[in-house]
Amino acid sequence: MKDLDYYMKLTYSATLENLEEDGESYFRLTIPILPGLEAYGDTPSEAYDDLEKAKKEWFLECLDEGITIPEPVRAHDFSGRVTLRMPKTLHQVLSDDATKEGVSLNSYVVTLLSQNSTIRTTQINKDRHKSGTE
C-alpha cells in the first residue's frame, strides 16, 4: 500500500513564481497536478521548505479521506509522437511555410505549438495576476 513516505519520495514538477503585492516581493511554489497545493516564502528556498510541509499535510489529508493522489508523469511515459489529422489545405499551407523557413514540416509544427504554449501560459499568468487569484 502506498503511504505518506511513498508520496513524499516522488519527484513532482513545481512552478516557481516571483510575485509582487503592495510593493512587497515574495515567491509562490505550486505543483500543477496537485490542485490547491501552494507554498510561499520570501526566498525560493523558504518557499521550497514551505512546500515540503504543505505536501506532507496535503498527502495526509488525501490518505485520510481516501482521495487518489496523482503521481508525477515522467518524460519516458511519452513517446513524443502524435498522429494528427488536419484538412488538406492546412497541411499544404504548413508544408509551404516550413519549406520557406527551410525546416521540416515536423520541426515547423513543433515550433508553432511551442510558441503557442508559451503565449498561452504567459496570458494565463497575466490574467491570474489581474484577477487577484494568485
pLDDT digits (tens, 9 = 90+) for 117-129: 777 666 666 665 5
13: pLDDT strictly greater than 70 = yes
Q: What is the mean pLDDT of the chain?
A: 87
Per-residue pLDDT, averaged over 50-56, amounts to 95
CA distances (Å), 121 to each of 47, 81, 115, 126, in order?
Answer: 22, 22, 10, 9
Select the CATH number that applies to the domain covering 79-121 from these four: 1.10.1220, 1.10.357, 3.30.70, 1.10.287: 1.10.1220
Give yes or no on whether 4-74 and 79-121 have one common fold.
Answer: no
28 is written with which cell numbers?
509562490
Domains of the chain, residue spans = 4-74, 79-121
Which pLDDT score, from 0 to 100, does residue 110 have? 87
104: pLDDT strictly greater than 60 = yes
| Topology of the domain comprising 4-74 | Double Stranded RNA Binding Domain (3.30.160)
44 is written with which cell numbers?
525560493
31: pLDDT strictly greater than 60 = yes
14: pLDDT strictly greater than 60 = yes
What pLDDT, in 10s, does the model give residues 60-78?
A: 999 999 999 999 877 666 7
